[in-house]
Structure 1
């Protein structure tokens, strides 16, 4: 029976792990630790396979898991292993890229100045990352477009009080609103309505409705039509200090207890849970 430790046998020695040269046009430059390490492993595995070593044998020789050896052996090029890994990792600069793109479009092309600006907004990374990100802009006519935020994310920013938004979220929202005047107008109306709702300023509702009617915002016009159908009740809700929120909360709690106990217990236990919980 052959020994299990193949390193002690007379098999061919493991080829030296020399990183394979990067192919032209690949987004993976030599010198990056992850890329070079993956290229070296890929070259080693593909050198051992033609020499007659099995994948289990390679696993033991290189002290890798079988799954890793399997992935390396099945990949024709090491670049095939990179997709969806290193290039998609988030960095400290991601939240500030829209601001950098906007300032670059305004004519500020000094990387040191832009680094100082985003540091005042909460960036904690180094100057080198900013300089490296801006370097392609100098050789291309326009800055590459940043990944757009989803509609749900933008909606959450608009519905959140400006003072509670993080600085990076404020910067991103500013970029979105600059590119869409209609959304900018909608944001202003939403925030005014939120102020009326939280500060009980129902007397300003007619002026708010008039301002909304003056803008071409069909969806908000539909919301206003619903308010006007019961204007007196809406005005009272935005003005008076009383609220049925506490009662609604208790009703919701009782319904939840009832649904949890349905088919499992009787009325006596339900009564105790409602009164004593």
Structure 2
């Protein structure tokens, strides 16, 4: 065993380094088609037989198989699944300051891919600000801004607000609401349903008063 061979064995950090020789990196008939093989691999064609058949007159099957073998051990980046509609809706309906950092980054990426979504988020947040800060006088300005964007579903919501605009302005401006009344109405409906429609007015009246 020569000194050169001994030094090569001693300096090797991996078994693959022992297989270096004059035959490596020499030109082959496959060189011109390696970019094509890479492209087919990225397209999802991981079976060496199919690309070999496609370039059978340009290189042998063994050459194609040997060239693609290292690619099988190379980790491929995972496919990034887009967020679901429910997930994005949750982000939009959450105060920006309450979003986690990773959710904030993913929402920003969704905005980059869908400008309409970013416009929708702006309208949702401005409406939430009117609702929490009692800024009902700004509702007309908000409806006008909504009309300028191509958001048909939000246009329908804005049309519903315009049909009873005075009540909407009052609801967004005053500290009073009909929550207590609605709660009593729901309670009475529940008591009525519990009797399966077989209770008369006197019994229902007594249950409502005593409940």
Change (3 A) 1:168 1:265: farther
CA distance in structure 2 between the partners assigned to 1:253 and 1:166 by the alignment: 38
Identify the match of residue 86 of structure 2 among 148, 152, 155: 152
Which residue is 1:225 aligned to?
159
Give the drift of 1:151.
Answer: 1.0
Are 2:185 and 1:257 aligned?
Answer: no
SS in 2 for 1:157: helix
CA distance in structure 2 between the partners assigned to 1:163 and 1:274 by the alignment: 44
Change (3 A) 1:258 1:219: same
Give the drift of 1:240.
Answer: 1.7
After TM superposition, the structure 1 = structure 2 runs for residues 14-163 of structure 1, keeping only pairs within 5 Å, are: 136=75, 143-163=77-97
Q: Which segment is superposed worse, 262-271 or 224-233?
A: 262-271
Which residue is 2:113 aligned to?
179
Number of aligned residue pairs: give it: 138
CA distance in structure 2 between the partners assigned to 1:267 and 1:214 by the alignment: 53
Which residue is 1:164 aligned to?
98
Change (3 A) 1:167 1:246: farther
Give the drift of 1:245.
Answer: 1.2
Change (3 A) 1:229 1:270: closer
Identify the match of residue 241 of structure 1 among 171, 175, 183: 175
SS in 2 for 1:238: helix
Change (3 A) 1:174 1:273: farther
Structure 2: gaps spanning 5 or more residues:
1-73
Name which one, 1 or 2, has greater alpha-carbon Rg.
2
Give the drift of 1:269.
Answer: 5.4
Give the drift of 1:154.
Answer: 1.2
Give the drift of 1:268.
Answer: 5.8
Are 2:145 and 1:211 aligned?
Answer: yes
CA distance in structure 2 between the partners assigned to 1:228 and 1:238 by the alignment: 14
Moved over 4 A (4+): 263-269
CA distance in structure 2 between the partners assigned to 1:168 and 1:272 by the alignment: 55
Give the drift of 1:263.
Answer: 5.4
TM-score, structure 1 length as denominator? Answer: 0.44
Tell me the C-alpha RMSD between the 2 structures.
2.4
Give the drift of 1:270.
Answer: 3.8
CA distance in structure 2 between the partners assigned to 1:269 and 1:168 by the alignment: 57
Change (3 A) 1:265 1:157: same
SS in 2 for 1:215: coil
